[in-house]
Amino acid sequence: MHCYRYITVQRRRHELQSTNDSSSFTPVLLPQTSSCVLRGSGATVLWVPAGGHGISRSHRGPPQRYRHQTRSSHAPSHGRGRGRRRCVRRRPYELQKIAADMFGMEAALYVPTGTMSNLIAVMVHCRERGDEMIVGDLSHIHVYEQGGSAQLAGVHSATVTTLSDGTFDLDQLISKIRHGYPDPHYPRSRLVCVENTHNIQGGRVLPLSFLQELRSVADNFGLTVHMDGARVMNAAVALGVQPSAILQHCHSVSVCLSKGLGAPVGTVLGGSKDFIQRAVRARKALGGGMRQSGVLAAAGKIALSDMIGRMKEDHRNTKSFAQALLQCDPPMYQVDLTTVESNILRFRLRDAHMSPAEFCERMAGIDEEEVKALGQGVQVLMFPHVGGTVRAVWHLGISEEDTQLAIQKAHFVAHQHKLKSIRAA
């Protein structure tokens, strides 16, 4: 569930100018992002919202506690801005150093997207066309990345069955490993990929014991382990451990700086020095080397330094919403609270007469009856997901107050559906 007010920046230029806490600033949109820069006397302030779906009750300016001064206009100019340009160019290296230390890895590389980061990892680990990686059948790499590993890297995928907790059976994994190389009939097994937290399975956190056993299996068979850790910071917060405690069981990791961390764009790929040296070449070949990365890396540094601790708020709000769905009268929602481990919630509708798509449409709509009943209109944007479920995600910008409004809306939709069913009968 993403914050609706954060994806309407372009329509809100005049509204940002009229708010009390940003009246002295003029918003300037960053190209091809949902972020904006507020320029005013004395400073440039970068507001880094998280885009996507969510709640809209009122149009407010950027939260005061998440504003960050990135450049003072009173700072001395170092020879026509050369010093400033050098400072901007250093930011990717600073971000990469921070990330490598946090991950407990030798080096890291800033990459535009998580999909590109995962593809680079596959290209580096599987150095020959025709190599094979083993992935979960419900993994993001396998389902949502267009088969890029085969399309662009020439790497074949073998799948194992993804279990409800995001793991897979290690005996099944062993059965998928090819042992006949250099037999010309078969590809060569090179890589195992895991996803943490697991997206399709509703933000499930992979147990440390599973990762430890997986690494042992990989070492025994000469395989490498890559983690699609787009939300691994959520996993670390949920487990109460440092990210390095999770990533010590992997050879490489891809960590998204947007989503819950709130940066407008970017992913960090971590691994050994040799791995990252090869990754730099792959990134260039895929078009991911950007001269403008210094500006984006500044937001990434804020994401890693300031935003990890606040993820507890997202997890707490997710569980509060899930509990409220179970308390709804009439009972319309089916939720397994034991599966709510991070900031993603998947739930079902008990009434087969309302589809997930119809429910999401009602949650996003506003009518006069709602305004009369609740005193205001609330838009909650969710997503009809796989297996007849509804998916909702919490992140930076979705407050406890917003969550309570979403609860009211969900109860209202259930009540209205009951009245409609009674009238139809």
pLDDT digits (tens, 9 = 90+) for 345-371: 999 999 988 999 999 999 999 999 999
Query: What tens digit of pLDDT does each residue of 173-187 get?
Result: 999 999 888 889 999
Q: Do residues 258 and 399 both lie within one domain?
A: no
Is pLDDT above 60 for 318? Answer: yes
Is pLDDT above 90 for 26? Answer: no
Q: Do residues 237 and 345 both lie within one domain?
A: no
81 in any annotated domain: no
Residues 6+ apart with CB under 8 A from 74: 42
Task: Please state the domain count of the chain.
Answer: 3
Range of the domain at 389: 311-424
Last-in-domain residue among 24, 50, 75: 75
- 107-111, strands of its sheet edge to edge: 107-111, 267-271, 252-256, 224-228, 188-195, 131-136, 156-160
Q: Do residues 54 and 91 both lie within one domain?
A: no
Q: Do residues 256 and 364 both lie within one domain?
A: no
- What is the reported pTM? 0.80
Other CB atoms within a 10 A radius of the CB of residue 263 amount to 27
d(C-alpha 222, C-alpha 403), whole Å? 47
Q: Supply φ then ψ for residue 47, to 5 degrees.
A: -95, 120
Helix, strand and coil in the chain, % to nearest 5: 45, 20, 35
